[in-house]
Amino acid sequence: MVWFHEWQKKYLKSHNFDDDVLAVETAKLFGINIEDETIKEDQIMNGEGKHLPKYLKNLVQSYKDITGKEPETKIKNPKDDIYAGAEFLKMLGSESNYTFIAENTTKYYLELSRNYSGRFDGEASLLAAAGILDAQVYIFMEQKINPVEILNIAKKSLEAGKESLIKFIIDLEVKLFEVDTPNMDIDDIKDACERQRQNIEKAIQKVKGEYASEPRFASDVTNFMQSHQFKPVRETIGIKE
């Protein structure tokens, strides 16, 4: 937030103190779709006027993308990570990391299936693409996950039939939390994610019922499906050119 306020000052000064332009660019930093007229203020901020967790996460990512730095407060010792303790097992509700990942992955899934359905070899390829987009920081920036690992998760999820998307997202979350918390027992991570199945299912169904499109997700998908940079990854997971 300190960086954000400094960014605001510099941006205003360099753009003739145009508040309207600042508002648009600020919304981008927080991942807020200003074209969505149905979004209400209480869906973005709490009663104290502070941004809700999912928008703060977007700001953190914007900070990392723009500055090329990690947050100064990033936890260096895994033992101090909230995910490694009891709090990880107690996270509930739509503002938890469980549902946050589920919502984002489902949005990528819908963007891909609606706009590029003819380019996938099958459901596993489609699921893998959605997972890779949601885990892109881990794959393309930090290089902690290989796209093939996501594809394997997608293939295994097909065993669940009609619930393949749910199984895929839960197993994807297990993988992401495993990378984030290497000191935590994998069985504990799996159990924590499985306990969130009902919340994850609700998040998926809500997105399926309400999601039209959002600039951030549409842009990510278009870039992934059209950029030459990602051609090797597309070929790996079975996407036709």
Model pLDDT, residue 81: 46
Please check the confidence at residue 156 and state whether its pLDDT lies above 70. yes
The per-residue pLDDT for range 133-154, each reduced to its tens digit, is 999 988 988 889 999 999 999 9
Q: Is the four-CA dihedral 99, 100, 103, 109 of positive or negative sign?
A: negative
Q: Which of 45-49, 86-90, 128-132, 203-207 has the lowest mean pLDDT?
A: 86-90
What residues form DSSP beta bridges with 51? 45
The per-residue pLDDT for range 224-233, each reduced to its tens digit, is 999 999 999 9
Model pLDDT, residue 30: 87
Domain residue ranges of the chain, discontinuous segments joined by +: 2-67, 78-237
Please check the confidence at residue 204 and state whether its pLDDT lies above 90. yes
Q: Which residue has the higher pLDDT, 86 or 106?
A: 106
Model pLDDT, residue 72: 58
Q: What is the chain's mean pLDDT, rounded?
A: 84
Q: Which residue has the higher pLDDT, 163 or 23?
A: 163
Please check the confidence at residue 88 and state whether its pLDDT lies above 60. no
Q: What is the C-alpha to C-alpha distance for residues 206 and 195, in angstroms, rounded to an integer?
A: 19
Q: Is the four-CA dihedral 147, 149, 154, 155 of positive or negative sign?
A: positive
Q: Is the four-CA dihedral 9, 12, 54, 113 of positive or negative sign?
A: negative
Q: Which of 20-29, 49-58, 67-76 has the lowest mean pLDDT?
A: 67-76
Q: Mean per-residue pLDDT for 38-45? A: 77
Please check the confidence at residue 93 and state whether its pLDDT lies above 50. no
Please check the confidence at residue 166 and state whether its pLDDT lies above 90. yes
Model pLDDT, residue 111: 97
Please check the confidence at residue 82 and state whether its pLDDT lies above 70. no
Please check the confidence at residue 12 and state whether its pLDDT lies above 70. yes
Beta carbons of 194 and 201 less than 8 angstroms apart: no
